[in-house]
A and B are shown apart, each in its own frame.
Chain A
Amino acid sequence: MGLYNYTIEQVESMLHNKEISAEELAKLSLDQIDKVDNDVKAFLTLNEEEALKKAKQLDENGDYDQKLAGVPGAIKDNIVTKGIRTTAASKMLENFHDPLYDATVTEKLAEEDAIMIGKVNLDEFAMGSSTETSAFQKTTNPWDTNYVPGGSSGGSAAAVASGEVMFSLGTDTGGSIRQPAAFCGIVGMKPTYGLVSRHGLIAFAPSLDQIGPMTRKVKDNARVLEVIAGYDKLDSTSSSKSIPAYSEQITDDIKGLKIAVPKEFLGEGVSEEVKEAVQNALQMYELLGATWEEVSLPHLAYADATYYLIANSEASSSLARYDGVRFGHRAEEATDLIDMFKQSRAQGFGEEVKRRLLMGTAILSGENNEKHFRKAQKIRTLINNDFQAAFQQYDVVIGPTTPTAAFKFDEKIQDPLTMYMSDRLTVPANLAGLPAISVPCGFTEAGLPLGLQIIGNHYSESTLYNAAYAYEQATNHHKKRPELGGE
C-alpha cells in the first residue's frame, strides 16, 4: 500500500503501534518516486541518504511524539536547505550546492521530525503559472501528463498528487500554492501574510510572498501549518500572534457560517464547468447549515493589473542581488565588472525572469513610478477595503480558485498576458494579505480536477480549515486519485 492510503493522523498511530516504521514510510516515498517521477518530473534534488538516516534514527529512538514524526515531505526549491542544493529552478543558481543555512520553515519541519525527501520543481524564481519556466524540467500534471501542473509550486503539487510525499511546502505570491493545488486536485493553503516566516525564502515580491502547506487532505494541511507558522525574529514582517493547534481544533460543524460570493469571481472568462462546480459546492454548504449571498467587490476587477504592477516592480528589486560575485552564475568572457554583471544575468536568467525584471524596471522608472507603481499601491488599499467591508457581514468569501481547469503545455507560455490572466482569481488574497485555501471541488468532463477557493479575514485560518474540512468530509472528490499514482 502506498502513501495515498494514509493521513498524518493514521501514520502517527501506526508508528506508535509499531504497525509501520519511519524507515518503511521513507521507502514508500522513495519507491513511489522511483516508479512515477520519470513521468511526473517533480523532483530536482533527492535527499535520499539523509532522509533514510533520519528515519532510521527515529525508529531506533522509538520516539514518535513530534507533530510530523516520520512523515515524508518535499520542499519547493526556492526555500533554502542547509547542505542541499537550492536552485529556484534557475541556471543562475544551478551550482548553489549549499546555502549554508536552513530557512526557518525547514528548521521547524526538522524539529518536528518530518522526513525531508527532496527539493521540488517550480517556475524559475517562482515566476510563472505552469512550472514551464523552470530552467531544468517540465513537471507534468499527474491526472493527465499532457497538461501542466500549474505553478509556480507545480513540483510541490504534483509530488503530493502522485503520492510521492504526504505533504509539501509551496510558496504563493499571486496564487502559486492555490492554483497548482486546484490543477492537481489537492489542498493548498496560502496563510495570512506574516503568519509563516519568510526567512530563507528566495524572494520574488516580498510584500506578497508567503510559504504554505500542500497536502491531499485538509486536516493534514492544518497539521503542517501549525508546525511552520509562528513568530520569527529573522523576518521583520513576522506576526507575533500565537498559533492555535489548527488540526486539533478542526470541526466539520459549520452551522451558521456566512458566505459571500463575489459576482466578480464568476464572471466573464470563467468556464461553465468551473461555475457549475462552485454552484454545487454552495448547495453543499447550504446542506451543511451555512448561508450564502452574492456580493460585489468592485475593485477585484483591477486586481490582476494591480498585482502585476506591484509584483514585477518588487521582483526587479529582489533580483538585483544576482550579480555573479558572491554566489550564482558568472559569465566567463566579461570584459569588465559592469559587463560581467550584465553577461552573468543574461546567461543566468530565463526569458520570463528577464521579462519581469525589465517590466519592473520600466514601472519604477521616472514618471511611471507615480503613474503605475504608486497608483497600484493605492488600488491595493481599495481591494483590501472591499474585503474588509465583506468581512463585516460574512465569515468567508468563496469562489473558484482558477477560471478553468489545467491547460496544456505550450498553450499559454507564448503569450504572457494570457498566462497572467489565469491568476486573476488568486491575486486578490495576496494583495490584501488574506489567508486563502483551495480545496478539491470536482472534475471536468476530461477528468481534470477543479478547486474551490475560500478566503478569510486576516488570521482566520481556523475558520478556513473548518469550512474546507466540512466540505471535504461531505464530498468524495478528495478520495479520487490519478491513475498514474497506482494504489
Chain B
Amino acid sequence: MANISKEDVLRYADVARLAISDAEAEKYSRDLSAVLTFAEKIQEINTDDVKPTTNGNDAKGVLRDDTPEVWGEREKIFDNAPDHEDGQFKVPAILD
C-alpha cells in the first residue's frame, strides 16, 4: 500500500515549481496514493536480468552538425513573451 502524504505532495510540488494549496495537497495525496498502490502490482515480476527499454525504438546516438544559423524573425519571438525589454526576456528580480 503506497502512502503519499500531504507533506510529500507539498515537497514534490516545490520541486516541480508548482504552487498548490493545502486542500489540493490533500486531494493529490489521495490520488497519488491510489495510483501508486495500483502500480505496486509490477513489483511481483522478477526483472533481475531484464534490460530497461528507454525509448519507442532503438534509435541512439543520432548526431548532426550543430551549425548556428541566422533566424530572421528574432523580434517575433518577443511577441510571444509575457515581458521583454531591449531584446531580452524580462523576469522579476532574482536578487534583492
Query: Which residues in A have some Cβ–Cβ distance to B below 8 Å?
Result: 96-98, 100, 192-194, 207-208, 210, 233, 236-239, 299, 301-302, 305-306, 308-309, 316, 320, 323-330, 334-343, 345-346, 349, 354-355, 357-359, 361-363, 365, 371-372, 374-382, 384, 416-417, 420, 430-431, 433, 458
Contact = CB atoms under 8 A, between A and B. Distances in A.
Interface string B56-93: 11010010100000000100110111110000010111
Interface in B35-62: 35-36, 38-39, 41-43, 45, 47, 50-57, 59, 62
B80 to A, nearest CB: 4
27 contacts: A100-B73, A237-B55, A237-B56, A299-B45, A305-B39, A326-B77, A326-B81, A326-B89, A327-B82, A330-B82, A337-B92, A337-B93, A340-B92, A342-B18, A355-B28, A355-B32, A358-B18, A358-B28, A361-B13, A361-B16, A362-B8, A379-B45, A379-B47, A379-B50, A381-B51, A433-B55, A433-B57
A362 B36 contact: yes
Nearest to A340: B92
Given A98-B76, A417-B34, A458-B57, A308 B39 contact: yes
Contact of A302 (B45, B59, B79, B83): B45
Given A336-B94, A359-B32, A208 B56 contact: yes
B1 interface: no
B49 to A, nearest CB: 9
A261 B26 CA distance: 43
Contacts of B51: 378, 381
B82 A325 contact: yes
Contact of A239 (B12, B17, B36, B59): B59
Contacts of A299: 45
Residue of B18, B50, B51, B94 most packed against chain A (CB within 10 A): B18
A431 B43 CA distance: 18
Contact of A361 (B15, B54, B56, B83): B15
B4 A342 contact: no
Nearest to B63: A236
Contacts of A362: 4, 8-9, 12, 32, 36
Contact of B59 (A194, A345, A430): A194
A365 B15 CA distance: 10
A319 to B, nearest CB: 8
Interface SS of A by simple majority: helix
Contacts of A96: 80
Contact of A236 (B8, B34, B62): B62
Contacts of A361: 12-13, 15-16
B57 A345 contact: no
A114 B92 CA distance: 44
Given A325-B89, A336-B94, A358-B9, A377 B53 contact: yes
Contact of A355 (B31, B43, B56, B59): B31
A336 B92 contact: yes
A299 to B, nearest CB: 7
A323 B16 contact: no
A457 B14 CA distance: 42
Nearest to A335: B92
B13 A343 contact: no
Contacts of B18: 342, 345-346, 349, 354, 357-358
Nearest to B94: A337
Most A Cβ at <10 Å: residue of B4, B13, B89: B13
Contacts of A376: 39, 42
